[in-house]
A and B are shown apart, each in its own frame.
Chain A
């Protein structure tokens, strides 16, 4: 597919990135799986996916040489620069670290640590769950990432650890306890759920991201 804003999907050698690329293409982006810092630098938007263990993703990101690129892109986005989307472990990597892999610091863009899903629940949470898209301290306005997504939309989650709730939380879900489902800080956006695997509702989230990229 030609046309649409160029979105760089950081290909640092983990899991299935093809579905993220295909889904972004479906909603109008010129999505490219890439390891090339030049191509990433010139893209209009950046996506940091992630599956598997936190420590393994940190190692892979460092081994690929893209850790610095990802950190810079996320810092710029939080200041209102080029939009950045983290997905699943890509969200968790934005924090200082994770109890899953204590010796492996994250990118430290957002404050706090990722912790094990609390309570007497099956881990991983591997299922569809409903969002609560009102932020805990929310003023009622829907975050642009969730525009035109039902406030209680079903999304697909696969994770055993979760980010802390905080001022950047823009959606949660209930799984034993209240769990961080999405964060937004400036143009830094991230989802714990997999929008590329969440059917039409997930594609709408990706479309919102691509429109955010295109609108700048």
Chain B
């Protein structure tokens, strides 16, 4: 059977979990390993760590978080942020992560996707696509990089197709228009990306309530739904989210 995964996302800045609105205005949400352990206990299907300081210097901080998480947490987890090479990915994977997520570096140099897939297998390679609605590209969804600050002129739908061709094993799609707004996923964007790529699709950006998770799976066609702040600040537990989805008829692991 097909089941839909629920994935808490932890944005990690200098060893702490933070969460912002539209990628700015950060607010402290705790220790990443403590949160990861709690989400595992509550039934999270996977975890994502995004190292949002990664472009700058302190890579060892996230390696330490990964290593400590791997001691405690026996569900899959992905690490993204600042991974630019096979060697960057190797360090993260050797520390205990299961997958790496690439975004800016892959958009700038698409061959990176193939290099990672050849070295570690496609199942290890998540291509993150941050997109916004835009008139600049045919599909109306344009890729943005550098934490949403830089417009690329790349069509998100074509890029998803290309990423799969190059060896991506999963696509993590974030609507930058919705991120932090609590208005729900951009379902049209999800459907557009999902129809272009035949690898698992993770929906991200905009979750404000449990119904949004149901919509992402049912109307957006997502294979996994990712959320951050609704979990971090104690609004809902992961268990409540999954119970709600199950009640709505979405197959989830309970």
For residue B95, CB closer than 8 A to chain A, the reply is yes
For residue A53, CB closer than 8 A to chain B, the reply is yes
- Which residues of B are found within 8 Å of A158, using beta-carbon distances? 76, 123
Contact in complex: B75, A197 (CB < 8 Å): yes
Contact in complex: B199, A127 (CB < 8 Å): no
- Which residues of A are found within 8 Å of B3, using beta-carbon distances? 127-129, 154
Interface residues of B in 1-17 (CB under 8 A from A): 1-5
Contact in complex: A19, B96 (CB < 8 Å): yes
CB-defined interface of A125-152 with B at 8 Å, one 1/0 digit per residue? Answer: 0111110000000000000000000000
Contact in complex: B200, A15 (CB < 8 Å): no
- Which residues of B are found within 8 Å of A130, using beta-carbon distances? 1
Contact in complex: B199, A51 (CB < 8 Å): no
Contact in complex: A197, B76 (CB < 8 Å): yes
For residue B198, CB closer than 8 A to chain A, the reply is yes
- Which residues of A are found within 8 Å of B118, using beta-carbon distances? 56
Q: Is the interface of A mostly helix, strand, loop or mixed?
A: mixed
- Which residues of B are found within 8 Å of A124, using beta-carbon distances? 122-123, 169, 199-200
- Which residues of A are found within 8 Å of B253, using beta-carbon distances? 128, 154
Minimum CB–CB distance for A181 against chain B, Å: 13
CA distance in complex: A158, B170 (Å): 11
Interface residues of A in 107-136 (CB under 8 A from B): 121-124, 126-130
Minimum CB–CB distance for A58 against chain B, Å: 13
Contact in complex: A19, B5 (CB < 8 Å): no
Contact in complex: B96, A22 (CB < 8 Å): yes
Contact in complex: B123, A19 (CB < 8 Å): no
Contact in complex: B70, A199 (CB < 8 Å): no
- Which residues of B are found within 8 Å of A51, using beta-carbon distances? 120-121, 123-124
Given A22-B70, A52-B123, A16 and B94 contact (CB-CB distance below 8 Å): yes
Interface residues of B in 113-157 (CB under 8 A from A): 118, 120-124
CA distance in complex: A16, B124 (Å): 10
Given A16-B94, A128-B3, A122 and B74 contact (CB-CB distance below 8 Å): no
- Which residues of B are found within 8 Å of A123, using beta-carbon distances? 198-199
Interface residues of B in 70-126 (CB under 8 A from A): 70-71, 74-76, 93-98, 118, 120-124
Most buried by B among A14, A126, A159: A126
CA distance in complex: A51, B169 (Å): 13
Contact in complex: B198, A197 (CB < 8 Å): no
Contact in complex: A52, B121 (CB < 8 Å): yes
Q: A19-B70, A23-B74 provided; 8 other pairs, C-beta below 8 A?
A: A14-B120, A19-B98, A51-B123, A126-B170, A128-B3, A159-B123, A196-B74, A198-B75
**Cross-chain pairs A/B with CB under 8 angstroms, 9 sampled:** A123-B199, A124-B169, A126-B170, A126-B200, A127-B200, A128-B3, A194-B76, A198-B74, A203-B74
